[in-house]
Structure 1
Amino acid sequence: MTEQSPDRIRCLFSADAIAKRVDEVAGEIAASEPHELLIVVVLKGGYMFAADLSRALSRYGVRLEVEFISLSSYGSGRRSTGEVRVLWDIGTEVSGRDVLIIDDVLDSGLTLKFARDLMRQRGARRVAIAALIDKPVGRRVDIEGDYVGFTCPDYFVVGYGMDAGHAYRELPFVGVLVSEDEVGG
């Protein structure tokens, strides 16, 4: 576990800003009138966004099912290795359904492109991507999010499901780790 304290994190997107944006994204998704919606949550980082977005969709009257997939292109570092591996697959049929893939960050695009292509290969009627954070500077493949919470510079962000060394996922906001030089340490 990382030994940094939360006071070494600069807030980038507050809990209130996230809640407001999640509701707006849910409204956009509801307006698309999804057919037999299956939400596929990319673990681990996408769980918090997916939970809040699912509840918001319910308030808009959207009925859905939830599945989880675990994909990795990171290994132990902070940059993608370029190779996507399926660590845990969904167990639900997607053929003929609308699939919404939910993840925390769209950066290199490798993982979400892989997931989108996989759902299309399995016969999904329509596949859309919802990402809380879009970091287009790091994009390595041609892919865009259909529903994006916030566009972010190429920072390594933590909180709201995102981690650094398995720490900070529980924070209610999205922040950037601050170096000791920046806090006067």
Structure 2
Amino acid sequence: MAEPPASHPIAVLYSAQTIAARIDALAVGIAERQLQAPLVVAVLKGSFIFVADLIRALHAHGLTPEIDFIFLASYGSGTEGGAVEILRDVESDIAGRDVVIVDDILDSGRTLLFAKERLRAKGARNVLSCVLLDKKARRTEMVTADFIGFECPDRFVVGYGMDLGNRYRELPFIGTIEAAG
């Protein structure tokens, strides 16, 4: 495993092995819901690694989900998000389908709430959500995920798809940026 550059020391929060085991457990939980013609909708960009592993785990547990993507951006000042904008919408017909939204992190809740409402408005029969990390300390919207990988401390995290300025997405683990020194 390659070490991160010294300018951003990273402490491992969840190892690759821990993540893999948790994703398998999430897939079991989702499979137990006995979804009809499930459609997995990945929220880009941060969820791309998580969703790839999750749909393989779903397949291993007997599901054959279709997959689509929605690319959302939340603009605001600094690290505080504002209004959610659609950069790419889902292309699949959602009417009457069981949909599972997959996102990397549930933080403020704005993005997940927006995505859930959008897919319901498109006629989804059922909208469930699955997040890898749940960071409750930053929640501003009353939204919860149906499936949660891990609780996230109130720290900036990278790896396993999550980034700092488009860096560190490739790390096979989830880590926290440590103060240099």
> Which TM-score applies when normalising by structure 1?
0.92
SS in structure 1 of the partner of residue 83 of structure 2? coil
Cα RMSD after superposing both structures = 1.6
SS in structure 1 of the partner of residue 129 of structure 2? strand
Matches within 5 A, 1:1-185: 4-5=5-6, 8-74=9-75, 77-80=78-81, 82-181=82-181
Indicate conservation of the 8 Å contact 2:42/2:67, yes or no.
yes
* C-alpha distance in 2 between matches for 1:162 and 1:75: 19
After superposition, the Cα gap between the structure-2 partners of 1:123 and 1:109, relative to the gap in structure 1 and judged at 3 Å, is same
* C-alpha distance in 2 between matches for 1:7 and 1:157: 12
SS in structure 2 of the partner of residue 105 of structure 1? strand
* C-alpha distance in 2 between matches for 1:7 and 1:140: 29
* C-alpha distance in 2 between matches for 1:150 and 1:6: 27
Letter in 2 for 1:138: R
* C-alpha distance in 2 between matches for 1:167 and 1:20: 25
SS in structure 2 of the partner of residue 114 of structure 1? helix
Deviation at 1:152, TM superposition (A): 1.1
SS in structure 2 of the partner of residue 84 of structure 1? strand
Deviation at 1:70, TM superposition (A): 0.3
Indicate conservation of the 8 Å contact 2:37/2:97, yes or no.
yes
SS in structure 2 of the partner of residue 72 of structure 1? strand
> Which TM-score applies when normalising by structure 2?
0.94
User: 5+ unaligned residues in a row in structure 1: which ranges?
Assistant: none
After superposition, the Cα gap between the structure-2 partners of 1:58 and 1:37, relative to the gap in structure 1 and judged at 3 Å, is same
After superposition, the Cα gap between the structure-2 partners of 1:135 and 1:15, relative to the gap in structure 1 and judged at 3 Å, is same
Letter in 2 for 1:97: R
Indicate conservation of the 8 Å contact 2:105/2:133, yes or no.
yes
User: What is the count of residue pairs matched by the alignment?
Assistant: 178
User: 5+ unaligned residues in a row in structure 2: which ranges?
Assistant: none
SS in structure 2 of the partner of residue 52 of structure 1? helix
